[in-house]
Amino acid sequence: MFSNCMYSTIGASAVCCAGFGNNTALGIFLDDVMCSGNESSIYNCSHNPWYSHNCGHHEDAGVQCDSLPGSKVRLVDGQTQYEGRVEIYYNGAWGTICDDNWDDNDAAVVCRMLGYSTIGASAVCCAGFGNNTALGIFLDDVMCSGNESSIYNCSHNPWYSHNCGHHEDAGVQCDSLPGSKVRLVDGQTQYEGRVEIYYNGAWGTICDDNWDDNDASVVCRMLGYSTIGASAVCCAGFGNNTALGIFLDDVMCSGNESSIYNCSHNPWYSHNCGHHEDAGVRCGCLPGSKVRLVDGQTQYEGRVEIYYNGAWGTICDDNWDNNDAAVVCRMLGYSTIGASAVCCAGFGNNTALDIFLDDVMCSGNESSIYNCSHNPWYSHNCGHHEDAGVRCDSLPGSKVRLVDGQTQYEGRVEIYYNGAWGTICDDNWDNNDAAVVCRMLGYSTIGASAVCCAGFGNNTALDIFLDDVMCSGNESSIYNCSHNPWYSHNCGHHEDAGVRCGCLPGSKVRLVDGQTQYEGRVEIYYNGAWGTICDDNWDNNDAAVVCRMLGYSTIGASAVCCAGFGNNTALGIFLDDVMCSGNESSIYNCSHNPWYSHNCGHHEDAGVRCAHFLSTTGAYFNSVLYMTKFKLMF
């Protein structure tokens, strides 16, 4: 099975002379390959014409990649194992990191690498844990979003390039919350992932035999996350990690244990499993999402007030921008599209509260404002005339929303009518009704399922708008279905209706007019319609995100400009100047001009080619070459 996981390029080494054996059953496809090292694919490197060579199979080339174990970073000279000067391993030696631009996001990534909690991770500057003049300074201007799995994946100056002295050696303080011995890997958020556990000096996985929600609850508790709704994921649902050993099997927790180590299980290392059984977990988000908007004209705007240490406070508008606003909107379950920051007490001030945060700097992708870089709590140089505010997008044109689900594809159904939002009663609520809601939101209707009984919680702050909804399933809108008169019901909010939509990858993006399903002109769904994307600034990072949305491999994803797959003049141009980092889960999360704002024509319709090495519809040539050259990835 092909793995979507890319290996580290750090320490990558070439192996000549059939060092891993030869394969005389295959042809020799390439000779005189010359890469600069920065290419996204071997196909982009200089080489002789295909099949042209003067070689024998005794010259079959090989590769050794670095598997980047967590031992590539360490904390030194702290008073506990959870803090210290950061030292990083590169090119056969250890070195330090300069504190230029060093912040809590960077600290969170270091803590994650070490298997510690990222909650409350804090950066320490100025050789706060002493310096180490015996080492070189390896990195400067490190800038992480905070969600990376490794510091190696963060933006930074070239290795060894810095303008620092060891009096700037960077440090970290990690939270010692129980859970330092367990981590979640390869989830889309920090609250989910493959479970990896630390034992006897190394990390390993857990087999999914007898793995259930009780076990998941214990893992979530160890990490400090909510156990409400904790769910077990079997069958390598978050991918596998064949680089690790399988440490535990037949784990059986009651659900009340403080640690997975206290649960019943087979002896360590004793199992009858393969990595296709690597266990995973989805945890409930941190209790509360503890933020509110106050004194706006609608529920989607207002002064931001945040809960901390048992009280509410305000945020100072220093460095307050649209990225910060997007995170607040996400916390509240609102759309992040078009989220805008409001400065200068634009929604009034609240002198009755303390100012809790200053210099908040979010990347925009965080799940919570608590995970963003900021000054220490209560530390500020502001007055309440600088109280920060936010305007969230209320998605005009989309008159329905899903709230309080664990993903965008599920939640309590709230519907807009007569200037306000309300809930729907679950009397007669079924999968046909669910399909219509999913269709309204642009999600797949395949597998759409109705959820009754306030399965995603209730919202007693809203009125109940509809009861006895009965759709055939083919309607374009819930408004077109049969139902009682508006506001007429015999329900309580314990009957608030919910929906789970099919989350078929790419339900909001599609590839059109390619020769295979893996390539084509990119068309994107927004505000009830499909449109194209302009190719200004369109690059391989953007392509990788589109491929990820569609469930295809991001390896070798390539951008196609200039209407390379034809144009579609029947559609509007929806996006321009899209700029993704490549790590986003959706093109909607990337930087771009406001929707519909562009200076393009359809001769600039953007396209994408995704990898399809093992596709039955893909070119045999590609799959053979890939398997030949990179057997170690299978």
Judged by DSSP in three states, 524 sits in strand
How is the chain split among helix, strand and coil, in percent rounded to 5? Answer: 15, 35, 50
Whether residue 625 is predicted with pLDDT greater than 50 in this model: the reply is no
Judged by DSSP in three states, 58 sits in helix
Nearest-5° Cα angle at 585, 580 to 587: 45
CATH code for residues 70-175: 3.10.250.10
- Rounded CA-CA distance 479/498 in Å is 16
Nearest to 554 by CA among 563, 542, 536, 564: 542
3-state SS of 377-390 is: CCCCCCCHHHECEE
Contact between residue 170 and residue 96 where contact means Cβ atoms under 8 Å apart: yes
Whether residue 139 is predicted with pLDDT greater than 80 in this model: the reply is yes
Give per-residue pLDDT as tens, 60-113: 999 866 443 334 899 999 877 788 999 998 888 889 999 999 998 999 899 888
- Rounded CA-CA distance 444/409 in Å is 9
Helices (H) and strands (E) in the chain, counts: 6, 32
- pLDDT value at position 505? 42
User: What is the mean pLDDT of the segment spanning 152-161?
Assistant: 92
Count of alpha carbons within 13 angstroms of residue 91, beta-carbon side: 7
- pLDDT value at position 189? 66
Of residues 400 and 337, more confidence is placed in 400
DSSP E strands: which ranges in 132-216?
136-139, 171-175, 182-186, 192-199, 202-206
Give per-residue pLDDT as tens, 528-563: 677 899 999 999 999 999 998 887 888 889 999 999
Return the minimum-mean-pLDDT range out of 67-71, 124-128, 291-295, 413-417. Answer: 67-71
Contact between residue 10 and residue 559 where contact means Cβ atoms under 8 Å apart: no
Q: What are the Cα distances from residue 340, in Å, to 323, 390, 391?
A: 8, 6, 5
Give per-residue pLDDT as tens, 446-475: 778 899 999 999 999 889 999 999 999 887
User: What is the mean pLDDT of the segment spanning 577-581?
Assistant: 94
Tell the burial category of 464 from Cβ atoms under 10 Å away from its Cβ (0-12, 13-18, 19+): buried
Place 419 in a pLDDT band, splitting at 50, 70 and 90.
Answer: low
Residue with structure tokens 């999913």? 438
Please state, rounded to an integer, the average pLDDT across all residues of the chain.
83
Contact between residue 579 and residue 516 where contact means Cβ atoms under 8 Å apart: no
Report domain extents, the chain.
70-175, 182-284, 291-393, 400-502, 509-611
Contact between residue 471 and residue 437 where contact means Cβ atoms under 8 Å apart: no
**CATH superfamily for domain 182-284:** SRCR-like domain (3.10.250.10)
Nearest to 91 by CA among 134, 152, 30, 141: 152
- Rounded CA-CA distance 520/608 in Å is 6
The Cβ of residue 155 has, within 10 Å, a number of other Cβ atoms equal to 12
Whether residue 327 is predicted with pLDDT greater than 70 in this model: the reply is yes
269: left (phi over 0), alpha (psi -120 to 50) or beta: left
- Rounded CA-CA distance 336/327 in Å is 7
Paired with 411 in beta bridges are 404, 499
- pLDDT value at position 223? 72
- Rounded CA-CA distance 572/83 in Å is 53
- Rounded CA-CA distance 191/488 in Å is 39
Give per-residue pLDDT as tens, 294-309: 888 777 789 999 987 7
- Rounded CA-CA distance 157/142 in Å is 7
DSSP letter at 564 equals B
Q: Do domains 182-284 and 291-393 have the same CATH topology?
A: yes
Instruction: Specify the CATH class of 509-611 in words.
Output: alpha beta
- pLDDT value at position 632? 29
User: What is the mean pLDDT of the segment spanning 419-428?
Assistant: 89
- Rounded CA-CA distance 227/281 in Å is 11
- Rounded CA-CA distance 567/601 in Å is 9
- Rounded CA-CA distance 34/46 in Å is 5
Residues ≥6 apart with Cβ < 8 Å to 79: none
Any idea which fold 400-502 has?
Answer: Mac-2 Binding Protein (3.10.250)
Judged by DSSP in three states, 324 sits in helix
542: left (phi over 0), alpha (psi -120 to 50) or beta: alpha
- Rounded CA-CA distance 454/404 in Å is 11
Nearest-5° Cα angle at 512, 506 to 515: 115
Instruction: Tell me the residue length of the chain.
Output: 634
Q: What are the Cα distances from residue 593, in Å, to 1, 558, 576?
A: 39, 22, 6
Paired with 408 in beta bridges are none
Of residues 130 and 225, more confidence is placed in 130
Any idea which fold 291-393 has?
Answer: Mac-2 Binding Protein (3.10.250)
DSSP letter at 46 equals B
- Rounded CA-CA distance 35/39 in Å is 7
- pLDDT value at position 404? 86
Residue 281 CA from chain centroid, whole number: 15
- pLDDT value at position 629? 30
| Two structure tokens written together for 373 | 């870089």
- pLDDT value at position 261? 86
Give per-residue pLDDT as tens, 509-524: 888 888 887 889 998 8
